[in-house]
Structure 1
Amino acid sequence: MHPASLTVIDLQPEMDGVNQYKNIPLTLVNDHVVRLSVMTEPFYWHYHPNSDETFLVLEGTLCIDLEGRTVELTPGQLFSIPAYVAHCTRPKDGRTVNITFELADIQTVKTA
């Protein structure tokens, strides 16, 4: 993925009417990727050995299950998970839309 330089990226068409899981890369920033994620179901328990991961919620409530606690994020809230920390992300009420920031060559290891 190599978006054109100095290009406006319109998120709304990527979000409108989407009622199933969708995860698309939007742009690269140095060695990181910015993704748009529409979540309609839980993502499995996993961790990333080579990258932190940051979530910014645009719509809905995103639950991030960690060992021993759950973090709930609402629109405008941001949360970072360090590398090697196991987590499971899921929408609270049917659908959430998020921006994620992570290493472009991120590795994902399923834990359960």
Structure 2
Amino acid sequence: MELLQPTVIDTKAISAEHPEDYFNTILSSVNDHIVRIGIMTEPYFWHLHPNSDETFLVLEGTLLVDLETGTLELQPGQMLTIPKNMRHCTRPGGERSVNLTIEHQQTETVMG
């Protein structure tokens, strides 16, 4: 059995390389979950995930998470988990937000 070698992932470098309005890619997998980096300058649509919680960790900027009950504001270094089946919408609190998102590999996204 061949052991995989650990790889350093530089999120600051990835952020600097992607000035576009929206960028989202998988950085790593951990057991049955994936870790994504998301860069946004515009809101993401209202949606829910029926089969996975979704955790956000803010790296740069401010992330606003709209829920049916109100809006939560996350600053760099803050983390939030949205339980599965909870409608939400994410958007940058300023010009740009860079976040890590952790979710199940087979996460379904339902718009609306």
After TM superposition, the score normalised by the length of structure 1 is 0.92
Are 2:94 and 1:93 aligned?
yes
Runs of at least 4 residues off by over 6 Å: none
SS at match of 1:106: coil
CA offsets 1:1-43 (integer angstroms, 9 cap, x no match): xxx5311112122101523100010000000000000011000
Please name the residue that 2:80 is paired with: 79
Q: Gapped runs of 5+ residues in structure 2?
A: none
Distance 1:70 1:60 in 2: 16
Q: Gapped runs of 5+ residues in structure 1?
A: none
Please name the residue that 1:48 is paired with: 49
Q: How many residues align?
A: 108
Distance 1:8 1:92 in 2: 29
Two-structure CA RMSD over aligned residues (Å): 1.1
Q: Which amino acid aligns with 2:10?
A: D
After TM superposition, the score normalised by the length of structure 2 is 0.92
